[in-house]
Amino acid sequence: MKAYEFIEASQQDGVALIELNRPAQYNALNRTMVREIVDALEAFDRDEEVRAIVVTGKGLAFSAGADIDEMAGDHPVRLELLNQFADWDRLTLIKTPIIGAVKGFVFGGGFELALSCDLLIAASGTEFSFPEVTLGVMPGAGGTQRLTKIVGRTKALEWLWNGTRITTESALQHGLINRVVSPELLMEEAMKTAKQIARQAPLSIRLIKDSVNKAVDYPLYEGMQYERKNFYLLFASEDQKEGMNAFIEKRKPEFKGR
Catalytic residue, candidates 9, 66, 101, 141: 66
Give Cα 91 to chain centroid, integer Å: 8
Is residue 132 annotated as a catalytic residue, yes or no? yes
Task: Compute the distance between CA of residue 84 and CA of residue 91 in angstroms, rounded to an integer.
Answer: 14
Is residue 109 annotated as a catalytic residue, yes or no? yes
Task: Compute the distance between CA of residue 154 and CA of residue 208 in angstroms, rounded to an integer.
Answer: 29
Task: Compute the distance between CA of residue 177 and CA of residue 252 in angstroms, rounded to an integer.
Answer: 31
Q: Do the Cβ atoms of 99 and 117 come closer than 8 Å?
A: yes
**One-letter amino acid of 7:** I
Q: Do the Cβ atoms of 193 and 9 come closer than 8 Å?
A: no
CB environment 136-166: b (16+ within 10 A), e (fewer)? eeebbbbbbebbeeebeeebbeebbeeebeb
Catalytic residue, candidates 19, 36, 112, 227: 112
Task: Compute the distance between CA of residue 182 and CA of residue 168 in angstroms, rounded to an integer.
Answer: 11
CA nearest neighbour of 111 among 126, 90, 123, 124: 126
Task: Compute the distance between CA of residue 41 and CA of residue 205 in angstroms, rounded to an integer.
Answer: 17
Residues 6+ apart with CB under 8 A from 45: 53, 94, 95, 96
Catalytic residue, candidates 127, 132, 189, 227: 132
Is residue 112 annotated as a catalytic residue, yes or no? yes
Task: Compute the distance between CA of residue 148 and CA of residue 211 in angstroms, rounded to an integer.
Answer: 20
Catalytic residue, candidates 57, 100, 104, 109: 109
Write out the catalytic residue numbers: 66, 109, 112, 132
